Amino acid sequence: MDAPPLPRSYYSSWGEGSGHLDVIMHSTPTSTDPQRIDRAEITFQQNNKCILIGAPPEMENVVDLTSPVHETWLEGLQVLASFEQTAAAQAISAHIRSTPYLPVSLQDHFINAIFAEAQDAARIAASRGHRAVSIAFHLYISVDMLFDDDYVDDSSAEDEADVEAGNAGMDAAAAMGLGDAGVDAAMANVEEDAPFGVVEIEIMAGIDVVEPVDLEAGEIVGGLSPEAIANHLTVDELMGGDPVACVICLENMAVGTPAGRLPCGHVFHPSCITVWLERSGTCPICRHQFD
């Protein structure tokens, strides 16, 4: 008999952003596909987003920080007990290690969680007598970035390598969907000594540039007090037909679950929007300023 899927979630945050890992494990006694018997299908998805704080109204304020990742592997069920030695584990680790702005401590946190979940899946399947397993990992990374209008592009002479990098940056901007938002160029600078080729992306619109925000250092001002947040935030049950995505954590909000609603009408996870308003007293979507 098939067993119901086992969902689990991990969440962690740092000064400039947050990460959310969803895990769903499913096992069956056998499989209609002989190649999947005594095998584990492992799927890994990763979405890295940046939230542009203070971006002009005509510009999208939630954009892709990197291209989405979606990979699948078939591994022997017995090797899940030492999952860190598999090709899937090495590829997943490389993806997480190359995530821009994600602190090493959080990289370790999510990698260790994935390894532990894979090992636990093997144990659960064995206890059920099941011979086919699927594990899906979906990692969401959200980085807060300050849109800085003090940048002036005075680079008048570019060598051939810079031109190629600029073209690649424009392609990246197009992939992010920023063309209609007035982004004229984007640059991707790879630090030679960064582990796994960490990429730092600067998105430019005219003379404006996006830079990472150190929220703990107080670069963002205008956050609301707990009393002000309580006055502006209404928490009630999400109504409607289809799930709504919370643009802060990028996770869907299921109908019937608690939702935090601002006076402008936009809804978010209550915990997500509370943290946001503590940092910046504006709606993440329409940028309405709350006092």
Q: Tell whether the model's pLDDT for residue 194 goes beyond 50.
A: no
Q: Does one domain contain both 175 and 209?
A: yes
* pLDDT at residue number 222: 58
- 104-108, 254-258, 279-283: range with lowest mean pLDDT: 279-283
% of residues, the chain, pLDDT over 90: 23
Statement to judge: residues 102 and 15 lie in one domain: yes
Structurally, the chain folds into a number of domains equal to 3
Helix spans in the chain (H): 87-97, 104-128, 160-175, 226-232, 270-279
Residue 152 has pLDDT above 70, yes or no: no
Give the structural domain span for 180. 147-215
Asked if 230 and 121 sit in the same domain, the reply is no
My answer on whether 64 and 18 are in the same domain is: yes
Same domain? 118 vs 76: yes
Mean of the pLDDT values across residues 154-183?
42
Q: What is the pLDDT of residue 76?
A: 83
The tally of CA atoms less than 13 A away on the side-chain side of residue 208 is: 17
Residue 286 lies in a domain: no
CB 80 within 8 A of CB 122: yes
Give the residue from 232, 189, 227 showing the smallest Cα distance to 211: 189
Query: Are 17 and 139 found together in one domain?
Result: yes
Most confident segment among 93-97, 194-198, 243-247: 93-97
pLDDT mean across residues, the chain:
74
- Residue 243 confidence (pLDDT): 61
Domain boundary among 123, 145, 167: 145
End of a domain among 122, 145, 168? 145
237 and 205 fall within a common domain: no
CB 262 within 8 A of CB 254: no
CA angle 208, 198, 74 (to 5 degrees): 125
Which tokens in the block code for residue 261? 């609603």
Determine which of 4-13, 95-104, 128-137, 215-224 has the lowest per-residue pLDDT on average.
Answer: 215-224
CATH number assigned to the domain comprising residue 225 = 3.30.40.10
